[in-house]
Protein backbone atom coordinates (compact mmCIF):
# COMPACT_ATOMS: atom_id res chain seq x y z
CA UNK A 1 0.00 0.00 0.00
CA UNK A 2 0.97 3.62 -0.57
CA UNK A 3 -0.07 6.19 1.98
CA UNK A 4 -1.37 9.75 1.88
CA UNK A 5 -2.87 12.20 4.32
CA UNK A 6 -5.14 15.12 3.47
CA UNK A 7 -4.85 18.69 4.74
CA UNK A 8 -7.88 20.74 3.78
CA UNK A 9 -11.30 19.10 3.62
CA UNK A 10 -13.21 21.54 1.41
CA UNK A 11 -14.92 21.18 -1.94
CA UNK A 12 -11.98 19.88 -3.97
CA UNK A 13 -11.00 17.34 -1.31
CA UNK A 14 -14.14 15.36 -2.07
CA UNK A 15 -13.14 15.20 -5.74
CA UNK A 16 -9.79 13.73 -4.70
CA UNK A 17 -11.42 11.24 -2.35
CA UNK A 18 -13.84 10.06 -5.03
CA UNK A 19 -10.90 9.67 -7.43
CA UNK A 20 -8.84 7.77 -4.87
CA UNK A 21 -11.59 5.14 -4.75
CA UNK A 22 -10.38 4.14 -8.22
CA UNK A 23 -6.85 3.59 -6.85
CA UNK A 24 -7.14 0.81 -4.26
CA UNK A 25 -3.35 0.75 -3.84
CA UNK A 26 -3.49 4.18 -2.14
CA UNK A 27 -4.57 4.41 1.48
CA UNK A 28 -5.76 7.62 3.18
CA UNK A 29 -4.38 7.55 6.73
CA UNK A 30 -6.23 10.63 7.94
CA UNK A 31 -7.31 14.18 7.27
CA UNK A 32 -7.12 17.60 8.90
CA UNK A 33 -9.09 20.81 8.46
CA UNK A 34 -8.94 23.95 10.59
CA UNK A 35 -12.76 24.00 10.70
CA UNK A 36 -13.84 21.29 13.19
CA UNK A 37 -17.34 20.98 11.72
CA UNK A 38 -16.00 20.59 8.18
CA UNK A 39 -13.41 18.05 9.37
CA UNK A 40 -16.08 16.04 11.14
CA UNK A 41 -18.42 15.98 8.14
CA UNK A 42 -15.62 15.02 5.77
CA UNK A 43 -14.19 12.24 7.93
CA UNK A 44 -17.63 10.85 8.69
CA UNK A 45 -18.58 10.77 5.02
CA UNK A 46 -15.37 9.11 3.84
CA UNK A 47 -14.62 6.99 6.89
CA UNK A 48 -11.15 8.38 7.56
CA UNK A 49 -9.43 9.37 10.80
CA UNK A 50 -9.53 13.01 11.91
CA UNK A 51 -6.10 14.50 12.62
CA UNK A 52 -5.72 17.45 15.01
CA UNK A 53 -3.26 19.60 13.03
CA UNK A 54 -0.94 19.66 10.00
CA UNK A 55 1.92 18.32 12.10
CA UNK A 56 -0.14 15.23 12.87
CA UNK A 57 -0.88 14.80 9.16
CA UNK A 58 2.87 14.69 8.54
CA UNK A 59 3.65 12.46 11.51
CA UNK A 60 1.04 9.89 10.46
CA UNK A 61 2.92 9.14 7.23
CA UNK A 62 5.83 6.81 6.56
CA UNK A 63 8.92 8.33 4.94
CA UNK A 64 7.64 7.52 1.45
CA UNK A 65 4.14 8.85 2.06
CA UNK A 66 2.59 11.95 0.52
CA UNK A 67 0.72 14.93 1.94
CA UNK A 68 -2.15 16.18 -0.20
CA UNK A 69 -2.31 19.93 0.43
CA UNK A 70 -5.90 20.74 -0.53
CA UNK A 71 -6.27 23.95 1.45
CA UNK A 72 -7.42 27.25 -0.05
CA UNK A 73 -4.87 29.09 -2.22
CA UNK A 74 -3.96 31.59 0.51
CA UNK A 75 -2.76 28.71 2.68
CA UNK A 76 -0.89 26.67 0.09
CA UNK A 77 2.58 28.09 0.70
CA UNK A 78 2.38 27.99 4.50
CA UNK A 79 1.15 24.40 4.62
CA UNK A 80 3.57 23.18 1.95
CA UNK A 81 6.52 24.84 3.68
CA UNK A 82 5.62 23.23 7.00
CA UNK A 83 5.25 19.79 5.45
CA UNK A 84 8.57 20.03 3.63
CA UNK A 85 10.29 21.11 6.83
CA UNK A 86 8.73 18.07 8.50
CA UNK A 87 10.40 15.87 5.87
CA UNK A 88 7.33 15.02 3.81
CA UNK A 89 6.74 14.94 0.07
CA UNK A 90 3.89 17.27 -0.96
CA UNK A 91 1.25 17.31 -3.65
CA UNK A 92 -0.49 20.69 -3.74
CA UNK A 93 -3.78 21.66 -5.26
CA UNK A 94 -3.37 24.48 -7.79
CA UNK A 95 -2.07 27.10 -7.77
CA UNK A 96 1.03 25.84 -5.99
CA UNK A 97 1.77 29.42 -4.88
CA UNK A 98 0.78 32.92 -5.99
CA UNK A 99 4.22 34.51 -6.41
CA UNK A 100 7.46 33.40 -8.01
CA UNK A 101 9.73 34.21 -5.07
CA UNK A 102 7.84 31.74 -2.90
CA UNK A 103 7.80 29.18 -5.71
CA UNK A 104 11.60 29.27 -5.92
CA UNK A 105 11.94 29.12 -2.14
CA UNK A 106 9.78 25.99 -1.88
CA UNK A 107 11.43 24.40 -4.91
CA UNK A 108 14.86 24.93 -3.34
CA UNK A 109 13.65 23.70 0.05
CA UNK A 110 12.31 20.48 -1.44
CA UNK A 111 15.51 19.88 -3.39
CA UNK A 112 17.74 20.58 -0.38
CA UNK A 113 15.83 18.03 1.70
CA UNK A 114 15.61 15.37 -0.99
CA UNK A 115 11.84 15.73 -1.23
CA UNK A 116 9.39 16.03 -4.09
CA UNK A 117 6.95 18.90 -4.58
CA UNK A 118 4.35 18.94 -7.34
CA UNK A 119 0.97 20.48 -7.95
CA UNK A 120 -2.25 20.06 -9.87
CA UNK A 121 -3.49 19.74 -12.49
CA UNK A 122 -2.59 16.17 -13.36
CA UNK A 123 -4.78 15.77 -16.43
CA UNK A 124 -1.56 15.81 -18.48
CA UNK A 125 -1.21 12.17 -17.39
CA UNK A 126 -4.63 11.28 -18.76
CA UNK A 127 -5.35 8.99 -21.67
CA UNK A 128 -6.45 11.99 -23.73
CA UNK A 129 -3.34 14.09 -23.04
CA UNK A 130 -1.00 11.17 -23.57
CA UNK A 131 -2.84 10.36 -26.79
CA UNK A 132 -2.28 13.90 -28.05
CA UNK A 133 1.41 13.61 -27.20
CA UNK A 134 1.72 10.35 -29.09
CA UNK A 135 -0.02 11.82 -32.13
CA UNK A 136 2.43 14.74 -32.15
CA UNK A 137 5.43 12.42 -31.79
CA UNK A 138 4.17 10.33 -34.71
CA UNK A 139 3.90 13.42 -36.88
CA UNK A 140 0.13 13.46 -37.22
CA UNK A 141 -0.76 16.76 -38.86
CA UNK A 142 2.84 17.57 -39.70
CA UNK A 143 5.00 19.97 -37.73
CA UNK A 144 2.86 21.97 -35.26
CA UNK A 145 2.99 25.68 -35.98
CA UNK A 146 0.18 27.31 -33.99
CA UNK A 147 -2.03 26.21 -31.10
CA UNK A 148 -5.32 27.71 -29.93
CA UNK A 149 -6.29 26.72 -26.38
CA UNK A 150 -9.57 27.87 -24.83
CA UNK A 151 -10.60 27.77 -21.17
CA UNK A 152 -13.80 29.80 -21.06
CA UNK A 153 -16.26 28.72 -18.37
CA UNK A 154 -19.32 30.86 -18.99
CA UNK A 155 -20.57 33.86 -17.00
CA UNK A 156 -19.94 32.13 -13.66
CA UNK A 157 -21.01 35.03 -11.43
CA UNK A 158 -24.57 34.53 -12.73
CA UNK A 159 -24.53 30.75 -12.29
CA UNK A 160 -26.40 29.15 -9.35
CA UNK A 161 -23.08 28.44 -7.64
CA UNK A 162 -24.55 28.95 -4.17
CA UNK A 163 -26.36 25.65 -4.76
CA UNK A 164 -23.16 23.78 -5.64
CA UNK A 165 -21.94 21.44 -2.92
CA UNK A 166 -19.48 18.56 -2.73
CA UNK A 167 -20.31 15.01 -1.69
CA UNK A 168 -19.66 15.65 2.00
CA UNK A 169 -21.53 18.97 1.90
CA UNK A 170 -18.78 21.57 1.36
CA UNK A 171 -19.96 24.62 -0.61
CA UNK A 172 -18.24 25.62 -3.82
CA UNK A 173 -15.54 28.11 -2.66
CA UNK A 174 -16.80 31.13 -4.61
CA UNK A 175 -14.81 33.69 -2.64
CA UNK A 176 -11.53 31.82 -3.17
CA UNK A 177 -12.29 31.19 -6.85
CA UNK A 178 -13.09 34.82 -7.59
CA UNK A 179 -10.23 36.20 -5.48
CA UNK A 180 -7.65 33.87 -7.03
CA UNK A 181 -8.86 34.31 -10.59
CA UNK A 182 -9.58 31.89 -13.40
CA UNK A 183 -6.04 32.03 -14.81
CA UNK A 184 -4.33 30.68 -11.70
CA UNK A 185 -7.18 28.22 -11.23
CA UNK A 186 -7.50 26.92 -14.79
CA UNK A 187 -4.68 27.90 -17.18
CA UNK A 188 -2.68 24.87 -16.11
CA UNK A 189 -5.15 22.45 -17.66
CA UNK A 190 -3.98 23.22 -21.21
CA UNK A 191 -0.65 24.79 -20.29
CA UNK A 192 0.53 21.56 -18.67
CA UNK A 193 -0.21 19.64 -21.88
CA UNK A 194 1.62 22.17 -24.03
CA UNK A 195 4.75 22.24 -21.85
CA UNK A 196 4.75 18.45 -21.59
CA UNK A 197 4.59 17.92 -25.36
CA UNK A 198 6.34 21.00 -26.75
CA UNK A 199 8.87 21.73 -24.01
CA UNK A 200 9.55 25.02 -22.23
CA UNK A 201 8.05 28.40 -23.01
CA UNK A 202 10.68 30.95 -24.00
CA UNK A 203 8.57 34.11 -23.84
CA UNK A 204 5.10 35.11 -22.65
CA UNK A 205 3.18 38.11 -24.00
CA UNK A 206 -0.07 38.38 -22.06
CA UNK A 207 -2.92 40.71 -21.17
CA UNK A 208 -5.28 40.27 -18.24
CA UNK A 209 -8.26 42.22 -16.94
CA UNK A 210 -11.16 42.12 -14.54
CA UNK A 211 -14.13 42.46 -16.86
CA UNK A 212 -16.77 41.66 -14.22
CA UNK A 213 -15.88 43.97 -11.30
CA UNK A 214 -18.94 43.27 -9.15
CA UNK A 215 -18.54 39.54 -8.57
CA UNK A 216 -20.06 38.49 -5.23
CA UNK A 217 -17.51 38.29 -2.43
CA UNK A 218 -14.67 39.44 -4.68
CA UNK A 219 -12.63 42.26 -3.20
CA UNK A 220 -9.15 41.85 -4.66
CA UNK A 221 -9.92 42.51 -8.32
CA UNK A 222 -8.25 39.33 -9.65
CA UNK A 223 -8.35 39.00 -13.45
CA UNK A 224 -11.34 37.07 -14.73
CA UNK A 225 -10.03 37.21 -18.31
CA UNK A 226 -6.57 36.63 -19.74
CA UNK A 227 -5.09 35.96 -23.12
CA UNK A 228 -1.48 34.98 -23.74
CA UNK A 229 0.80 34.32 -26.66
CA UNK A 230 3.28 31.63 -25.64
CA UNK A 231 6.50 31.30 -27.63
CA UNK A 232 8.01 27.84 -27.21
CA UNK A 233 11.73 27.16 -27.52
CA UNK A 234 10.92 24.32 -29.92
CA UNK A 235 9.28 26.76 -32.36
CA UNK A 236 5.47 26.64 -32.08
CA UNK A 237 3.40 29.54 -30.78
CA UNK A 238 0.24 29.07 -28.71
CA UNK A 239 -2.61 31.40 -27.86
CA UNK A 240 -4.20 30.55 -24.50
CA UNK A 241 -7.41 32.26 -23.36
CA UNK A 242 -9.06 32.01 -19.94
CA UNK A 243 -12.26 33.64 -18.74
CA UNK A 244 -15.33 33.28 -16.56
CA UNK A 245 -17.31 35.54 -18.88
CA UNK A 246 -17.34 34.01 -22.38
CA UNK A 247 -19.55 30.97 -23.12
CA UNK A 248 -18.16 27.58 -22.16
CA UNK A 249 -15.41 26.55 -24.57
CA UNK A 250 -12.67 24.10 -23.60
CA UNK A 251 -11.18 23.29 -27.00
CA UNK A 252 -7.56 22.70 -27.92
CA UNK A 253 -6.56 22.89 -31.58
CA UNK A 254 -3.08 22.21 -32.91
CA UNK A 255 -2.59 23.65 -36.39
CA UNK A 256 0.10 21.72 -38.23
CA UNK A 257 1.52 21.85 -41.72
CA UNK A 258 -0.81 19.09 -42.90
CA UNK A 259 -3.93 19.51 -40.78
CA UNK A 260 -5.50 20.13 -37.38
CA UNK A 261 -5.49 17.97 -34.24
CA UNK A 262 -8.44 18.67 -31.92
CA UNK A 263 -9.45 17.89 -28.35
CA UNK A 264 -12.81 19.35 -27.39
CA UNK A 265 -12.98 18.84 -23.62
CA UNK A 266 -10.22 19.86 -21.21
CA UNK A 267 -11.97 18.34 -18.21
CA UNK A 268 -12.49 14.87 -19.66
CA UNK A 269 -9.60 12.45 -19.17
CA UNK A 270 -10.93 10.29 -22.00
CA UNK A 271 -11.87 13.01 -24.50
CA UNK A 272 -11.15 11.79 -28.04
CA UNK A 273 -8.21 13.16 -29.99
CA UNK A 274 -9.27 13.87 -33.56
CA UNK A 275 -7.41 14.86 -36.72
CA UNK A 276 -8.70 16.78 -39.74
CA UNK A 277 -6.51 16.62 -42.83
CA UNK A 278 -6.05 19.82 -44.80
CA UNK A 279 -7.14 19.48 -48.40
CA UNK A 280 -7.66 21.42 -51.61
CA UNK A 281 -11.03 21.23 -53.31
CA UNK A 282 -11.03 23.01 -56.65
CA UNK A 283 -9.94 26.55 -55.73
CA UNK A 284 -10.59 26.19 -52.01
CA UNK A 285 -8.39 25.17 -49.08
CA UNK A 286 -10.21 23.54 -46.17
CA UNK A 287 -9.93 21.02 -43.37
CA UNK A 288 -11.74 17.75 -43.90
CA UNK A 289 -15.29 17.75 -42.48
CA UNK A 290 -14.68 14.13 -41.48
CA UNK A 291 -12.34 13.86 -38.50
CA UNK A 292 -10.19 10.77 -37.94
CA UNK A 293 -9.97 9.49 -34.37
CA UNK A 294 -6.28 9.27 -33.40
CA UNK A 295 -6.91 8.60 -29.71
CA UNK A 296 -4.59 6.29 -27.82
CA UNK A 297 -5.73 2.67 -28.08
CA UNK A 298 -5.20 -0.15 -25.64
CA UNK A 299 -4.55 2.02 -22.59
CA UNK A 300 -6.75 1.60 -19.57
CA UNK A 301 -7.24 4.23 -16.91
CA UNK A 302 -9.84 4.01 -14.16
CA UNK A 303 -12.89 6.23 -14.48
CA UNK A 304 -13.87 7.58 -11.06
CA UNK A 305 -17.54 8.19 -10.41
CA UNK A 306 -18.51 11.49 -11.98
CA UNK A 307 -19.95 14.38 -10.00
CA UNK A 308 -20.28 17.85 -11.54
CA UNK A 309 -18.80 19.12 -14.79
CA UNK A 310 -15.48 17.26 -14.79
CA UNK A 311 -14.73 13.74 -15.97
CA UNK A 312 -11.31 13.80 -14.33
CA UNK A 313 -9.29 11.54 -12.08
CA UNK A 314 -7.82 13.97 -9.55
CA UNK A 315 -5.60 11.21 -8.17
CA UNK A 316 -3.55 10.68 -11.34
CA UNK A 317 -0.85 13.07 -10.13
CA UNK A 318 -0.58 11.76 -6.58
CA UNK A 319 -0.55 8.17 -7.89
CA UNK A 320 2.29 8.90 -10.33
CA UNK A 321 4.16 10.81 -7.63
CA UNK A 322 3.88 7.90 -5.19
CA UNK A 323 5.17 5.54 -7.89
CA UNK A 324 8.11 7.88 -8.51
CA UNK A 325 8.97 8.03 -4.81
CA UNK A 326 8.85 4.24 -4.57
CA UNK A 327 11.05 3.87 -7.66
CA UNK A 328 13.58 6.49 -6.57
CA UNK A 329 12.99 8.81 -9.52
CA UNK A 330 11.60 12.31 -9.86
CA UNK A 331 7.90 12.61 -10.54
CA UNK A 332 6.98 13.86 -13.99
CA UNK A 333 5.05 16.69 -12.33
CA UNK A 334 7.71 17.80 -9.82
CA UNK A 335 11.02 19.66 -9.97
CA UNK A 336 11.82 21.91 -12.93
CA UNK A 337 8.50 21.15 -14.63
CA UNK A 338 6.47 22.36 -11.63
CA UNK A 339 8.56 25.52 -11.30
CA UNK A 340 8.31 26.35 -15.02
CA UNK A 341 4.56 25.75 -15.10
CA UNK A 342 4.22 28.12 -12.15
CA UNK A 343 6.34 30.85 -13.75
CA UNK A 344 4.41 30.79 -17.02
CA UNK A 345 1.05 30.79 -15.24
CA UNK A 346 2.00 33.73 -13.04
CA UNK A 347 3.22 35.72 -16.06
CA UNK A 348 -0.17 35.22 -17.73
CA UNK A 349 -2.02 36.21 -14.55
CA UNK A 350 0.03 39.41 -14.35
CA UNK A 351 -0.58 40.30 -18.00
CA UNK A 352 3.16 40.43 -18.53
CA UNK A 353 5.49 40.51 -21.52
CA UNK A 354 8.40 38.55 -20.15
CA UNK A 355 11.25 36.20 -20.96
CA UNK A 356 11.01 33.07 -18.84
CA UNK A 357 13.86 32.39 -16.42
CA UNK A 358 13.07 28.71 -15.80
CA UNK A 359 13.33 25.75 -18.14
CA UNK A 360 12.27 22.11 -18.16
CA UNK A 361 12.61 19.20 -20.53
CA UNK A 362 9.57 17.84 -22.40
CA UNK A 363 7.76 15.34 -20.20
CA UNK A 364 8.57 11.66 -20.54
CA UNK A 365 5.47 9.87 -21.86
CA UNK A 366 3.70 7.37 -19.66
CA UNK A 367 4.95 3.83 -20.45
CA UNK A 368 1.61 2.81 -21.94
CA UNK A 369 1.65 5.81 -24.31
CA UNK A 370 4.92 5.03 -26.11
pLDDT digits (tens, 9 = 90+) for 167-219: 999 999 999 999 999 999 999 999 999 999 999 999 999 999 999 988 876 56
Q: How far apart are the first and last CA of the chain?
A: 27
The reported pLDDT for the residue numbered 281 is 87
The reported pLDDT for the residue numbered 216 is 75
Give mean pLDDT in consecutive 10-residue pieces for the chain, a chain of 370 residues. 98 97 97 98 99 98 98 97 99 97 98 98 97 98 98 96 96 93 97 98 98 77 95 99 98 98 97 96 91 89 70 96 98 98 98 97 95
The reported pLDDT for the residue numbered 302 is 76
- Same domain for 168 and 138, yes or no, is yes
- Same domain for 113 and 133, yes or no, is no
- Same domain for 132 and 67, yes or no, is no
Within a domain: residue 318? no
Within a domain: residue 115? yes
Closest CA to 332 of 314, 317, 347, 315: 317
pTM attached to this predicted model: 0.95
The reported pLDDT for the residue numbered 308 is 60
- Same domain for 136 and 90, yes or no, is no
CATH of the domain at 176: 3.30.360.10
Burial of 210 (0-12, 13-18, 19+ CB in 10 A): middle
- Same domain for 132 and 115, yes or no, is no
Q: What share of the chain is helix, strand, coil (3-state, %, to 5)?
A: 35, 25, 40
Q: Which domain holds residue 135?
A: 127-313+330-369
The reported pLDDT for the residue numbered 214 is 84
Within a domain: residue 167? yes
- Same domain for 73 and 204, yes or no, is no
Total domains present in the chain: 2
- Same domain for 140 and 236, yes or no, is yes
Secondary element (H or E) of residue 152: strand 144-152
Amino acid sequence: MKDVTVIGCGYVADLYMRSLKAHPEIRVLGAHDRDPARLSAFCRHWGVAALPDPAAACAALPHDGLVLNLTNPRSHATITRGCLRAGRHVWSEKPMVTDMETARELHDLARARGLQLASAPSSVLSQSAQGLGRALRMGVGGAPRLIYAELDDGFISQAPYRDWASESGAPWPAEDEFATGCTLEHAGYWLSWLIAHLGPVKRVVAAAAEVIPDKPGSKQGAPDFSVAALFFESGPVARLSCSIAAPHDHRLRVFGEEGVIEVSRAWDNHAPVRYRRRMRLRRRLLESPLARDVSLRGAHQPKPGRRGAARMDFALGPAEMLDAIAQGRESRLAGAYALHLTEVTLAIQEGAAREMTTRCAPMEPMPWAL
